[in-house]
């Protein structure tokens, strides 16, 4: 992983391919690398869909090696949804494949003059670009099928659906899983729209005949990986709950905590939760011949993913994640698991962020466009987005724009990005993360549910303002570092609780690169990433006024605890004081 592939789509004639040494970006991977390139090379005031913006796709520092859980991938750009810097993280196979091909990053830059659609094929022999307008407005599933017909099934794909081609700010980039389903997505912040603006429909990668990346000190690396895996498997969340029930295991837990946002964040409990919980999902999957436990990439040992079949036992979608089930479920008052799985499939196929779409439909329901609980109406709305009707193009611009168009006051967004599945009034640590993350409202940026609700890594009362800033700060710093390694964020449960598992993570980094990192060095690395991201946002015009939750969270108590968000502005402004 010592080279960067640049594809300039803005050159006359065919796009220009450059393969260059990693150079000044050496030592950076995943989020650290995407944010460094965007921060240094993209003018902060530029239009996100202009030739000045770039899409950076980067495996993590440990991706492509034997390290368990190391196959996450980072996508960076200036976000068309937030207007700020974006790192959107995805699972799937491409991280491992790209790393073994030796690329620290793919950078798509410039903007083509015409409206041709391009495919990019990368294998050990080099890079080929071709025009293929027959893929126009194809869904991600059909696009991948066409790539399989052309290149065989030893490939991995990175693609956009019609939403990306239409440059909608809710558009995702799809990454194929181990079975070549385009079911893992860099969804947050609209990176699919930026890839669409570059005219690139799909990047096909093939690592046939290429070995795993080798560490500098293989024996130490192997030993650290063994301890790391043992730690993951013995922890209750990573070794039992997530593999058995998937991420939706959180539904009952958040509902019991009164923090499960329902009917567009009006209350913290949902009467239909048992019909859409992880336990119900897993039972349905098993009964219908699906799979309740599945890894989204080679080397995942937690295996929180799964396969969701329809009533006739045919594949309907991958197991919808907790956030998706909540966004299309409780937030919209929908408790029909099959309809939610259909919405998940449609989002994946059209190439849309499931959180943004669910929350946007909740806002549309509040506006009276359709009724809470109207699952078929929600499905129709997603089809409108995928087809690009005028209404669909409004919905596809996300919750903030939809709220403005339909005159809704209660719109749960920060920096223009829809809020995920934890009410910030009842999980206040996450409220701090939503408010202050450079990414906009993003639970993964500093997942305070750990200490607030799950009592992992200590306990901070979720209903009180005390201790939330420190909790969010520490998690945001740690997350920025983890997102740079290529490790799945779910390792956090085990490394926060078990010092030896945290040490094993550091002991993976050190022998791989011949470093002598300490825990403090890892924290410094995370701080540098956050500082870089905040600096970009400042230059893009963001001030502390954007590090705030919408007003209604401060004035409207959420039942059943009847609490408001009461972490003060002064405290929020202290999150990044280091």
Give the residues lining the site for ligand SF4 (CB under 6 A): 69, 91, 295-297, 300, 302-305, 488, 490
Which CB atom, from 8 or from 305, has the smaller least distance to ligand SF4? Answer: 305
Which CB atom, from 302 or from 381, has the smaller least distance to ligand SF4? Answer: 302
Which CB atom, from 4 or from 57, has the smaller least distance to ligand SF4? Answer: 57
End-to-end C-alpha distance for the chain, whole angstroms: 32
Q: Please, what is the minimum distance in Å from the beta carbon of residue 201 to ligand SF4?
A: 25
Q: Please, what is the minimum distance in Å from the beta carbon of residue 489 to ligand SF4?
A: 7
Q: Please, what is the minimum distance in Å from the beta carbon of residue 95 to ligand SF4?
A: 10
Q: Residue 16: which residues within 8 A CB-CB, separation 6 or more?
A: 7, 8
Which CB atom, from 395 or from 488, has the smaller least distance to ligand SF4? Answer: 488
Which CB atom, from 330 or from 492, has the smaller least distance to ligand SF4? Answer: 492
Which CB atom, from 201 or from 297, has the smaller least distance to ligand SF4? Answer: 297
**89 in the Ramachandran plot: left (φ > 0), alpha (ψ -120 to 50) or beta?**
beta
> Are 413 and 437 a contacting pair, CB within 8 Å?
no
The pair phi, psi for residue 67, each rounded to 5°, is -60, 130
**β-sheet with 305-309: strand ranges across:** 291-294, 305-309, 315-318
Which CB atom, from 355 or from 399, has the smaller least distance to ligand SF4? Answer: 355
Which CB atom, from 270 or from 326, has the smaller least distance to ligand SF4? Answer: 326
Q: Please, what is the minimum distance in Å from the beta carbon of residue 174 to ligand SF4?
A: 14
The pair phi, psi for residue 130, each rounded to 5°, is -140, 150
Strand blocks (E) in 187-344 = 200-205, 291-294, 305-309, 315-318
> Are 167 and 145 a contacting pair, CB within 8 Å?
no
Q: Please, what is the minimum distance in Å from the beta carbon of residue 87 to ligand SF4?
A: 16
Q: Please, what is the minimum distance in Å from the beta carbon of residue 69 to ligand SF4?
A: 6
Helices 337-350 & 354-366 angle (0-180, nearest 10):
120
Distances in whole angstroms, Cα of residue 83 to Cα of each of 138, 213, 414, 440, 465:
28, 36, 12, 10, 29
Q: Please, what is the minimum distance in Å from the beta carbon of residue 393 to ligand SF4?
A: 31
Stretch (H or E) spanning 86: strand 85-90
Q: Please, what is the minimum distance in Å from the beta carbon of residue 245 to ligand SF4?
A: 12
SS3 of residue 300 by DSSP: coil
Is it true that the peptide bond before 151 is cis, omega within 30 degrees of 0?
A: no
Longest dimension (CA), the chain: 62
């Amino acid at each position: 992983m010592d080279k960067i592939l640049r594809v300039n789509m803005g050159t006359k004639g065919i796009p220009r391919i450059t393969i260059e040494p990693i150079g000044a970006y050496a030592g950076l991977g995943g989020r650290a690398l995407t944010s460094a390139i965007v921060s240094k090379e993209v003018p902060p005031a530029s239009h996100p869909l202009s030739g000045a913006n770039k899409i950076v796709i980067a495996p993590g520092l440990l991706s492509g090696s034997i390290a368990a859980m190391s196959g996450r991938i980072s996508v960076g750009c200036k976000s068309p949804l937030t207007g700020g810097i974006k790192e959107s993280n995805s699972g799937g196979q491409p991280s491992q494949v790209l790393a073994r091909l030796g690329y620290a990053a793919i950078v798509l830059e410039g903007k083509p003059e015409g409206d041709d659609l391009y495919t990019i094929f990368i294998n050990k022999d080099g890079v080929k670009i071709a025009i293929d307008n027959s893929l126009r407005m194809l869904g991600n599933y059909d696009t991948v099928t066409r790539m399989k017909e052309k290149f065989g099934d030893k490939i991995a794909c990175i693609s956009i659906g019609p939403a990306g081609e239409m440059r909608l700010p809710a558009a995702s980039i799809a990454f194929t899983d181990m079975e070549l389903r385009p079911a893992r997505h860099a969804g947050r912040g609209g990176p699919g729209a930026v890839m669409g603006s570059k005219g690139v429909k799909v990047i096909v990668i093939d690592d046939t005949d290429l070995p795993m990346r080798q560490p500098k000190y293989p024996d130490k690396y192997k030993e650290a990986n063994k301890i790391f895996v043992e730690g993951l498997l013995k922890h209750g969340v990573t070794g039992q709950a997530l593999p058995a029930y998937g991420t939706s295991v959180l539904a009952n837990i958040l509902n019991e905590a009164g923090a499960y946002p329902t009917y567009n964040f009006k209350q913290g409990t949902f009467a239909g939760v048992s019909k859409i919980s992880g336990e119900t999902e897993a039972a349905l999957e098993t009964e219908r011949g699906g799979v309740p436990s599945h890894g989204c990439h080679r080397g995942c040992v937690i295996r929180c993913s799964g396969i969701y079949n329809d009533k006739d036992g045919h594949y309907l979608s991958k197991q919808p994640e907790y956030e998706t089930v909540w966004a299309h479920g409780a937030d919209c008052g929908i408790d029909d698991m099959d309809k939610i799985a259909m919405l998940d499939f449609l989002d994946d196929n059209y190439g849309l962020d499931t959180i943004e779409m669910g929350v946007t439909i909740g806002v549309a329901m509040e506006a009276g466009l359709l009724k809470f609980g109207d699952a078929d109406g929600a499905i129709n709305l997603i089809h409108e987005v995928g087809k690009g009707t005028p209404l669909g193009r409004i919905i596809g611009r996300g919750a903030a724009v939809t709220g403005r168009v339909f005159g809704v006051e209660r719109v749960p967004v920060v920096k223009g990005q829809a809020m995920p599945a934890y009410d910030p009034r009842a999980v206040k640590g996450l409220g701090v993360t939503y408010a202050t993350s450079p990414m906009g409202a993003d639970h993964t940026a500093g997942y305070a549910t750990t200490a607030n609700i799950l009592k992992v890594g200590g306990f901070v009362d979720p209903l009180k303002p005390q201790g939330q800033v420190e909790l969010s700060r520490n998690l945001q710093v740690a997350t920025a570092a983890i997102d740079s390694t290529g490790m799945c964020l779910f390792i956090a449960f085990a490394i926060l609780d078990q010092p030896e598992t945290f040490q094993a993570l550091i002991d993976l980094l050190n022998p791989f690169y011949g470093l002598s990192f300490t825990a403090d060095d890892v924290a410094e690395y995370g701080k540098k990433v956050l500082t870089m991201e905040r600096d970009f946002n400042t230059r893009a015009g963001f001030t502390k006024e954007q590090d705030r939750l919408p007003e209604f969270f401060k004035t409207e108590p959420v039942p059943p605890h009847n609490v408001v968000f009461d972490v003060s502005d002064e405290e929020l402004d202290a999150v990044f004081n280091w």
